[in-house]
Amino acid sequence: MPTIDLGVAPPTPAPVDRVWADLPRRVGLTLPELRLLAETLTAPLPFDLVTPTVDQGGGLSARLGLNPTATQDQAYAEVLARLGDPAQSLHRRGLLMPSGPDAATGVDPGIAGALGLLAAPTVALDLDVAVDGLRARAWHRYRDGSVATLATSDGLVFELAWFAAAAWPAELGRVAALPDETRRRSSLVPTTLRVPWQVAAASAEAIRAGRPELVPVIAGDATLGTVLTALAGEAHGRVRAMVSTVPTASGAAQPRAIGVAAWTLLADGWHALRPHRASEPDDPTSATGGDDRLEVVRVEAADLAAELAPLLAEVA
């Protein structure tokens, strides 16, 4: 006897081509390849392209976080010189084809669109990540529901990616993902900590000056002093993110910074550093109904999108 299923019908699988279309596209490019593609498209890149040499350092190295010493600049320049002809490698990979008088630029359409978006966005998100002496930079650019990103950890090899804005949260989680070899242990800093901003700033300055014995005095409490000392002493990494608007070519407005987010990497993982206004309406000495505090909250890499959401919502 036939059986009729009156339950909810399973969703219709999306076409294979649609599934692939929704996934982020990525391509690895060396600095010479990236420079050649940008020059071909007349699309400026989001960082300074002054290549460091023995006699001229600090341009690209300072921007991407490389050590600006003469030895490091020499090694960087030597590696850069060994990367070969970028036109040949791009042609071999099918990313750049010869163009004629009636042809387009010859640049792969996806890469051309991504570099175009990097050059002319409406929202810019700059990310700077450092963990245990390693540093990476990422530039995320948004316009009309699309995002293009460029990232590097050495200034020599870059990852170019492009995707719909719906995939942005997952991509931001990749930025803050910790290396597999990063070890975690218990932390003296609690999951949530709120401390007056002035106390936190003065304690950090005392530790930087080599006077940690002053921290309990500044904190006014031995337990809080121990926590503030751990907040500085355990730190071995950080994330800095800045959101800003970018005027259109026809607009007269200047780029405007919307806000900055900061995380610190402690013994047990990431902790967000947030300004917090404590409400104290019953305090007659408080003219503002509260005081400025620093809020330190335990977070995971996947929380970076939620951390930046209020800033991005203002402009995107």
DSSP secondary structure, 85-99, as one string: -HHHHHHHTTSB---
pTM across the whole model: 0.81
d(CA 109, CA 176) in angstroms, rounded, equals 29
In this predicted structure, the answer to whether residue 240 has a pLDDT above a threshold of 80 is: yes
Domain coordinates in residue numbering, the chain? 22-175, 192-313
Q: Please report, rounded to a whole number, the percentage of residues in the chain having pLDDT higher than 70.
A: 74
Residue 119 makes CB contacts below 8 A (sequence gap 6+) with: 38, 41, 43, 44, 45
Mean pLDDT, the chain, integer: 81
Phi-psi label, residue 220: left if phi above 0, alpha if psi -120 to 50, beta otherwise: left
Which among 110, 79, 76, 81 has a CA at the least distance from the CA of 94? 110
Reported residue count of the chain is: 316
Q: What's 210-224 look like in SS3?
A: CCHHHHHHHHCCHHH
Question: Would you state the pLDDT for residue 254?
Answer: 63
Q: Please report, rounded to a whole number, the percentage of residues in the chain having pLDDT higher than 90.
A: 57
Specify the 3-state DSSP secondary structure of 242.
strand
Give 291's strand partners. Answer: 278
Confidence of residue 1 (pLDDT cuts 50, 70, 90): low
- The pLDDT tens digits for 84-136 are 889 999 998 989 887 654 445 789 999 999 999 999 999 999 999 999 988 99
- The pLDDT tens digits for 275-302 are 887 665 444 433 333 478 999 999 999 9
d(CA 258, CA 308) in angstroms, rounded, equals 11
Question: Would you state the pLDDT for residue 308?
Answer: 95
Q: Give mean pLDDT, residues 204-208.
A: 93
